[in-house]
Structure 1
Amino acid sequence: MSKVRWGVLSTAKIGTVKVIPGMQRGTYCEVTGIASRSLENARTVADKLHIPNAYGSYEELLEDPNIDAVYIPLPNHMHVPWAIKAIHAGKHVLCEKPIGLNVEEARQLADIAHQHPKLKVMEAFMYRHHPQWQKAREIVRNGGIGTPVSIQSFFSYFNNNPGDIRNNAEWGGGGMMDIGCYPISLSRFIFEGEPEKVIASVTRDEEFKTDVVASVMIDFGGIMSTFTCGTKLAPYQRVHIHGTEGRVEIEIPFNAPPDKPCILWHQQGEEITEIEVPTADQYTVQGDLMSQAILEDTEVPTPISDAVANMEVIEAVFRSERSGRWEAVSHMLVE
C-alpha cells in the first residue's frame, strides 16, 4: 500500500507529543524525517520517535526528494513563510493553525497554493475530523435539534510563562490566535456558512500585551455563536449547540483523548441521549485524510480558502476590540 512520506519542520511539542505519534499510526502516513535548527536536537527527537532521518536545517529537509509532504508546527509568525518555501520546493503542506498572522498573509499563501494546483495545502484544524464532530454535524444537518439558533463555547488554560511563544505578541501569541480560532472555526463548520459581523470584549496582559481573556459574539444573520477563551483561566472546554427543538453538548470538543471514547449528549425535547463515540486519534485521522488526498489527487477535507475565511473573523474580532462596536466580517473570494 502506498504511503505519503512526511517530513516535519521543527521539534515543537505539539508535533512530537501529539501529531507525529498520531500520524505514525496512520494507514497512509510515513513520517520519514524531522528538521531542527540544531542537528543534534533533530537526531535526539528522531531517535526517540523512531524517525529515520534528521536534518540540521529546515532547508535541508525541503531539498530532500524523498520527502513528499511537510507538517509545519512552527511558531505562528513562521507558518506562511515556511509553507510558501515548502510549496516552492514541491512539497504538499499541512500547517498548524492559525494559518498566518493576518488575512493578508493567509491570502498570500492561498494565492501561491492556487498557482500550484497539484500540491495540497491544508490548515491543521484536527478537531473537525474527529468522529464526535462528524456526529454532531450529522445531528444538526438531519434536523436533530430543529432549526439551529446558537452555539456557546468555552476554551481555556492557564499559562503565565514569559518564555512561552504563546505569550509573545510579536510572534502571534495570545488566546485568540491559539485557541479562540477553534470556536470561530467550529461555528462556521456547524452552521455551514460565514458570519456577518462580530463584537468582542478583550482583556490584555500588561506584561505580555497578548489577549488573555476574550468574550465574543458572532452573528450569522440572526443565528449566534458566542464564546469565551482565555490563557489565564482554569483549564476547561465545552461546546453547546442549541436549536429550536434540541441541543448537542460535546464534553471534550478540542483535545479529544486518543485512547478512550468521547461522550456527547443529544437532547430532543425533554429526552437526553448520551452518545459514546468510538475511540479515535484525531491526528491520525487528519494525517490519513490529507495523505489520501495526496495519493488520490482529490480535494483536501478543509480547503485553504477556509483558513482565509477563519482569519477574516479573527481580524474582525480585533477590530471590534479597538472600536468597541460591531464589526463587519469581510469575505474576499479566494479562487
Structure 2
Amino acid sequence: MKKVHWGILSTANIGRQKVIPAMQAGEFCEVVAIASRNKEQATTAATQLKIPVVYDSYEALLSDPEIDAVYIPLPNHLHVPWSIKALQAGKHVLCEKPIALSVAEAEKLMAAARQYPQLKIMEAFMYRFHPQWQLAKQMVDQGKIGTLRTIHSFFSYFNADPANIRNQKDIGGGGIMDIGCYNISLSRFIFGKEPSAISAIAAYDPVMQTDRIASGMMDFETGTSTFTCSTQLIPYQRVNIFGTDGRIEIDIPFNAPPDRPTKLWLHTKGETEETVFDTINQYTLQGDAFSKAILNNEPVPTPLEDGVNNMKVIEAFFESAKSQQFVRL
C-alpha cells in the first residue's frame, strides 16, 4: 500500500508525545525524518520514535526529495514562515494551529499557497476528525435538536511557567491563541457559517502580559456562541450545543483520549441517548485524512480558507477586548 512520506519540523512536545506516534499508527502515513536545530534533540527523538533519518536543520529536511509532506509543530510565530518555505520546497503542509499570528499573515500564507495549487496545506484542528464531532455536526444538520440556537464551550488548563512558549506574548502565546481558537473553530463548524460580530473580555497576566482568562460571545444571526478559555484555571473542557428541541453534550470535546472511549449525549424532552465511541486516536485520523487527500489528489478536509476565517475572528476578539465594544466582522 502506498503511503505518504512525512518529515517533522521540530521536536516539540506535541509532536513527540501525541502526533508522531499517532501518525506512525496510520494506514497512509510513514514518518521518515525529523529535524531540529539541535541535532542531539533530533537524534534523541528519532531514537525514541524509531524515525530513520535525522537532520540538524529544517532546511536540510525540506531539501530531502524522499519527503512528500511535512508536519509543523513549531511555535506559533514560525507557522507561516516555515509553511511557506515548505511549499517552496515542494512539500505538502500540515501545520499546527493557530495557522498564523494575524489575518495579514494568514492571507500571506494563502497567497503563497495559491502559487502551488498542486500542493496540499491544512491547519491541524484534529478535533474535527473525531467521530464524536462528526456525529454532533450530523445531528445538528438533521434537526435532532430542533433549530440550533446557542453553543456553550469551556476549555482550560493551568500553566503559569514564564519559560513555556504558551506564555510568551511575543511569539503568539496566551489562552485565545492556544486553546480559545478551538472554541471559535467549533462554533463556526457547527453553525456552518461565519459569525457577524463578536464581543469579548480578557484578563491578562500582570507579568507575562498574556491573556489568562478570556470569554467571548459570537453572533451568528440565527444563534449565538459563548465560551471561556483559560491558561490558569483547573483543567476542564466541555461543550453543550442547544437547540429548540434538544441539547448535545460532548464529554471530552478537544483532547479526546486515545486510550479509552469517549461519550456524547443527546438530551431531548424527557430522554437521554448516550453514544459511546470506540477508542480511537484523532491525530491518526487527521494524518490519514490528509495523506489520502495527497494520494488521491483530492481537496483537504479543511481548506486553508477556514484557517484564515478563524484568524479573522481571533483578531476581532482582541479588538473587542481592547475596545470593550462589539466588533463586526
TM-score (norm 1): 0.98
Alpha-carbon displacement from aligned partner over 1:39-67 (angstroms, at most 9, x marks no partner): 12111100100000010000000000011
How much does 1:268 deviate?
1.6
Q: Distance in 2 between matches of 1:323 and 1:41?
A: 44
> What value does the CA root-mean-square deviation take over the aligned residues?
0.6
Tell me the equivalent position of 1:132. 132
What is the alpha-carbon distance in structure 2 between the residues aligned to residue 101 and residue 13 of structure 1? 20
SS at match of 2:118: coil
Residue in 1 that maps onto 2:57: 57
User: Offset at 1:305?
Assistant: 0.2
Counterpart for residue 332 of structure 1: none
Query: Where does residue 256 of structure 1 map in the other structure?
Result: 256
Aligned 1:20-31 pairs, distance under 5 A:
20-31=20-31
SS of equivalent residue, structure 1 residue 109: helix
Question: Which AA in structure 1 matches 2:70?
Answer: V
* 2:123 corresponds to 1:123: yes
CA distance in 2, matches of 1:41, 1:14: 15
Give the counterpart letter for 1:137 in structure 2. Answer: K
Counterpart Cα distance in 2 of 1:12 and 1:277: 29
Shift of residue 12, structure 1, vs aligned partner? 0.1
* Partner residue, 2:157: 157
Opposite residue 37 of structure 1, the aligned amino acid is: R
Query: Which residue of structure 2 lines up, in the alignment, with residue 333 of structure 1?
Result: none
Question: In the alignment, what sits opposite 1:75?
Answer: 75
Identity level (%): 60
**Amino acid across the alignment from 2:291:** S
How far 1:15 moved relative to its partner? 0.2
Q: Give the partner amino acid of 2:189.
A: F
Bigger drift between 37-46 and 288-297 goes to: 37-46
Query: What SS does structure 2 have at the residue aligned with 1:2?
Result: coil
Query: Aligned partner of 1:63: which letter?
Result: S
Unaligned runs of 5+ in 2: none
The residue number in structure 2 matching 1:2 is 2
Q: Which moved more, 1:59-68 or 1:268-277?
A: 268-277
Match of 1:267 in 2: 267
CA distance in 1 between partners of 2:250 and 2:145 (Å): 14
Structure 2: distance between partners of 1:128 and 1:283: 10
2:216 is matched with which residue?
216
Q: Which residue of 1 aligns with 2:17?
A: 17
Matched residue, 1:90? 90
Q: Secondary structure at the match of 1:47?
A: helix
Partner Cα separation in structure 2 for residue 222 and residue 40 of structure 1: 54
Return the alpha-carbon distance in structure 1 between the equivalents of residues 40 and 155 of structure 2: 36
Q: Please give the alpha-carbon distance, in whole angstroms, between the structure 1 residues aligned to 2:222 and 2:198.
A: 12
Residue 54 of structure 2 aligns to a residue whose secondary structure is strand
Secondary structure of 2:279's counterpart equals coil
Q: Any idea what the Cα deviations from partners look like across 1:203-248, whole Å, max 9, x if unmatched?
A: 0011001000001000001410000000010100000000000010
Letter in 1 for 2:10: S
Q: Report the equivalent of 2:196.
A: 196
**Alignment partners' CA distance in 1, 2:116 and 2:270:** 52
Q: Distance in 2 between matches of 1:120 and 1:35?
A: 21
The answer on 1:241 being equivalent to 2:237 is no
CA distance in 2, matches of 1:144, 1:193: 19
Equivalence for 2:318:
318
CA distance in 2, matches of 1:104, 1:320: 18
Return the alpha-carbon distance in structure 2 between the equivalents of residues 66 and 48 of structure 1: 22
SS across alignment from 1:284: helix
3-state SS of paired residue (2:276): strand
Q: Point out 4+ residue stretches in structure 1 off by more than 3 angstroms.
A: none
| 3-state SS of paired residue (2:33) | strand
| 1:15-40 C-alpha deviation (Å, 9 max, x unpaired) | 00000000000000000000000112
Cα distance in 2 between the residues matched to 1:65 and 1:324: 51
Distance (whole Å) between structure 1 residues aligned to residue 272 and residue 84 of structure 2:
48
Q: 2:307 is aligned with what amino acid?
A: A
Q: In the alignment, is residue 291 of structure 1 matched against residue 291 of structure 2? A: yes
Moved more, 7-16 or 110-119: 110-119
2:179 maps to 179
Tell me how far apart the structure 1 counterparts of residues 10 and 125 of structure 2 sit (CA, whole Å): 18
Matched residue SS, 1:104: helix
